Amino acid sequence: MKVILQSLTKEFPSRNKRSKDVVVAVNDFTFEIPDGKLVGLLGPSGCGKSTTLNLISGLEKPTRGRVLFGDEDVTDYPPQDRGVGLVFQNYALYPHMTVFQNIIFPLQNLKGKDKLTKQQMAEKAEEAAKLVQISELMERKPSELSGGQQQRVAIARALVKRPRILLLDEPLSNLDARLRLQTREELRRIQRETGITTVFVTHDQEEAMSISDMIVVMKEGVLQQIGKPQEVYDDPVNLFVAKFLGTPPINVFNASIRDGGLYIGDERVLNVGAADSESITVGIRPEGFIPNKDGALTLQLTAVEVMGRDTSVVSVHPECVGANVRSIISADSRIANDAHKVRFDLKPEKVFMFDKQTEKRVRVDLKPIGR
C-alpha cells in the first residue's frame, strides 16, 4: 500500500494562550511513500516527524491537506478504520495484561463480520509472536521482559491485525547500543518478510541510513529532501541536510570564488566553473581529504586518532565554522603525530558548495587544480 501525503499541514495553538499565533508543526508536506518500502522520517527533535507519523495514523487531524493510502482518501477516517499498526517509543504495552493478552487486544475490538473466535485470535497471536520470535514469552507480564523483548511484543501487537501500514515512533531509542544494532536488522527482516509499507521516525541518521529504502529529512516542519539514503548523502540539497547526515559530520568552511578558483583562506583548493563570489560556504565530507605533502589545503594538526581500519585526523583551520576539522583517511597513509601542519588535496565529489545566506546548494562543476 503506498502512502501519499498532499500539502499536509498541521498547526497547533500557541502555548501562550493570549496570542492568536499558531505553531506550525508540519508545513505543506507533499510526498509519496512507495508500496512495500521501509521509510525513515529523519530530523532533529521538534522537527515535526512524530506529528507527521500521527497524521498518517490518524491520531491527529491535519489542519489542511490530504492523506491517501493507495487511491483511498483516509484523511477523515479515525485511526481504527485506517488499518495501521503503531509502535510507540516506550512501547505502550498494557502493564496489567500478559504478552498474549496485549497481542490479542486489537483483535478483540473487531466488530461485526470481522469478529474472530477465540481460536482464530490465538492463531493470529501465535503467528505474530512467531514472526518476532517471542512465542515462549506469551504468559509473561511486560514488567518481566527486557527492553528488547517489550519492543518485539509491541511490534507483534501492531502486526497482529495485518495492518496496511506499519508505523514506528523512535523504535530503537529506548534500547542500549548493542541491542539497537541487532534490533534494526530485525526490523529490516520483519519488514521484508511481511512486505508491509513501514514508516519509522528517528533522530538518529545512522539508524535511518542503515536500514531505510528511502529517507525523508525534515527540519522545523518543513520537508528538506527525500531519496535513497546514499543519494541524499551524496547529493544534499542544502547545508542542513549535508550537516545532518554522516558521522563524523561534514566539515564546513567559509570560502570564496576568485578567478575560477575556490579559495579557503588564501589557498586555492579546487577549480570551479562559476562567477566570483565572496559569500560561499563549503562543506567537505571527512572522507574527502587525500593526504599529500604538497596538498592544496593546509591545516594545523591537533591530533591523529588511529582507529584500526581508518585514521582520523583532527586539525584546525581559521576559516572552519566548527571547532575543528575531522578527516578520515586510510590507515596506510601515515601522518606523523608530532607534525604541526598537515596538507590535503580534496576529492571534488565530496565537496559541496552552498550559498552563505540561503544555505541552499550551489551546483557547480568542481575540478582538482592542475599542477
Partner 1 sequence: MNEKGLKRNASRRLILRIMTYVLLAIWAVMVLFPFYWMVLSSIKSYASYSSEKIPEFIPREPTLENYSTAFTQVPLSGYFSNTLIFTVVTTALMLIVTVLAAFAFSRLEFKGKNLVFTMFIALMMIPSELVVITNYHTITELGLRNTFTGLILPSVTSVFYIYLLKENFEQIPDELYKAAKVDGTSDFKYLTKVMIPICRPTIITITILKTVECWNSYVWPRLITTKQSHYLVSNGIQELRENGIGRENIPAMMAAVVVISVPLIVLFLIFRKRIMEGVSRGGTKG
Residue 91 or residue 200: which is nearer to partner 1 going by CB? 91
Distance, CA of 369 to CA of 68 (rounded, Å): 51
Residue 87 or residue 301: which is nearer to partner 1 going by CB? 87
What is the Cα 266 distance to its own chain's centre?
Answer: 37
Report the nearest approach of partner 1 to the CB of residue 334 (Å).
Answer: 53
Report the nearest approach of partner 1 to the CB of residue 128 (Å).
Answer: 13
Which residues form the interface with partner 1 (CB under 8 A)?
54, 57-59, 78-81, 84-86, 88-92, 94-97, 105-106, 109-110, 157, 161
Residue 93 or residue 282: which is nearer to partner 1 going by CB? 93
Distance, CA of 258 to CA of 90 (rounded, Å): 54
Report the nearest approach of partner 1 to the CB of residue 75 (Å).
Answer: 16
Report the nearest approach of partner 1 to the CB of residue 83 (Å).
Answer: 10
Q: Using an 8 Å Cβ cutoff, are 138 and 128 in contact?
A: no
Instruction: Give the length of the chain.
Output: 371
User: What are phi and psi for residue 113, nearest 5 degrees?
Assistant: -70, -20
Report the nearest approach of partner 1 to the CB of residue 12 (Å).
Answer: 14
Report the nearest approach of partner 1 to the CB of residue 89 (Å).
Answer: 8
Residue 81 or residue 349: which is nearer to partner 1 going by CB? 81
Residue 175 or residue 237: which is nearer to partner 1 going by CB? 175
Residue 31 or residue 88: which is nearer to partner 1 going by CB? 88
Which residue, 73, 55, 74, is CA-closest to 199?
55
Report the nearest approach of partner 1 to the CB of residue 62 (Å).
Answer: 16
Residue 33 or residue 103: which is nearer to partner 1 going by CB? 103
Residue 75 or residue 89: which is nearer to partner 1 going by CB? 89
Report the nearest approach of partner 1 to the CB of residue 161 (Å).
Answer: 7
- Cell (9 digits) for 308: 584500526
